Amino acid sequence: MKFAFSTLGVPGLPLPDVLRLATAHGYHGVELRAHPEEPVHPGLGTGEREDVAARFKDAGVELLGLAGYARVAAPGDDEAVLEEIRTLLGLAHDLGAPFVRVLPGGSDAASADEADAIAARRLGTVARDAADLGVRVLVETHDSHPTGADVTRIIGQVGHRQVGALWDVMHTWLGGEQPLDSYAALSPYLGYVQVKDIVSADDTTPLALGAGIIPLGECVEVLSRHGWDGWLCWEYEKRWYEAAEPLPGLLTAGRAHLGRLLNDSA
């Protein structure tokens, strides 16, 4: 498996500094938070996009994916959501990123069937765009669809290779789903896995990997036992928790912890 971290843990940090962190602490890749408040976002021009791609290449670091905020199951007009996804796909293509992350974002006012149908319709519409650009759209286990079973209800309706899943291990665990069940549901569609650790089910303040209550060892063991050899990306949500310890000082120990989990599961 290969290891990455998300820039959600170092909000607003200039890209050269992000890449230096990755190389200094032994990470193979980086997931970029694609938001206007970040250095890399959909508003970049052609020259700026070329510069970002060149910086990754020169650093020998892979751009794992773009973490976007399109909410595919949200109520409202389809076109705005479709345009947001297409814009992310274009940016990912230009930067050389294989994945774009989207969120479910379903409304409490809609039934699960309605939310699933809305999301599947929108994802089915952009699947050809994704195929043309060589990028996969991944629906994260999150908010209205926290478990693998929830997300696969959407993806199964789409039935297109370019639409897959991103397994956020915190949300599936908080949703009451065991790692083996999450993997069984998501494995046919799995793009990559987001790992993290938190204080408790009632306090999702991010912690160093191994310092909290998420069953990371079990998650890695399940992946390893089934021969999955993809990416583990540490999503440390510093952006939402200002009091959390800064990520840079945790990166070396986090990389070592993931390595130990992988060795223990071999």
Q: In this predicted model, what pLDDT tens digit does every residue of 59-95 receive, in sequence order?
A: 999 999 999 999 999 999 999 999 999 999 999 999 9
Residue 93 makes CB contacts below 8 A (sequence gap 6+) with: 133, 134, 135
Q: What is the CATH number of domain 2-265?
A: 3.20.20.150
Q: Look at the block and give the residue holding tokens 């908010």.
A: 143
For residue 265, the model assigns a pLDDT of 87
DSSP 3-state assignment of 70? Answer: strand
The pLDDT, as a whole number, for residue 87 is: 98
Can you tell me whether residue 163 is helix, strand or coil?
strand
- 3-state secondary structure at position 142: strand
pLDDT number for residue 98: 98
Q: How many CB atoms lie within 10 A of CB 160?
A: 16
Question: Do 134 and 161 contact (CB within 8 A), yes or no?
Answer: no
Q: How far apart are CA 43 and CA 48, in angstroms?
A: 10
In terms of pTM, does the model score above 0.85? yes
Predicted local distance difference test score (pLDDT) of residue 109: 79
Q: What pLDDT is attached to residue 115?
A: 96
Angle at the Cα of 53 from the Cα atoms of 140 and 49, rounded to 5 degrees? 85
Query: What is the residue type of 142?
Result: H
Task: Say what the pLDDT of residue 166 is.
Answer: 98
Low-confidence ranges of the chain (pLDDT < 70): none
What percent helix, strand, coil does the chain show, rounded to 5? 45, 20, 30
For residue 266, the model assigns a pLDDT of 78
Number of helical H runs and strand E runs in the chain: 9, 10
Give, in degrees to the nearest 5, the angle at Cα 219 between 215 and 225: 140
Tokens representing 126 are 């952009």
Question: Could you give the 3-state DSSP secondary structure of residue 102?
Answer: strand
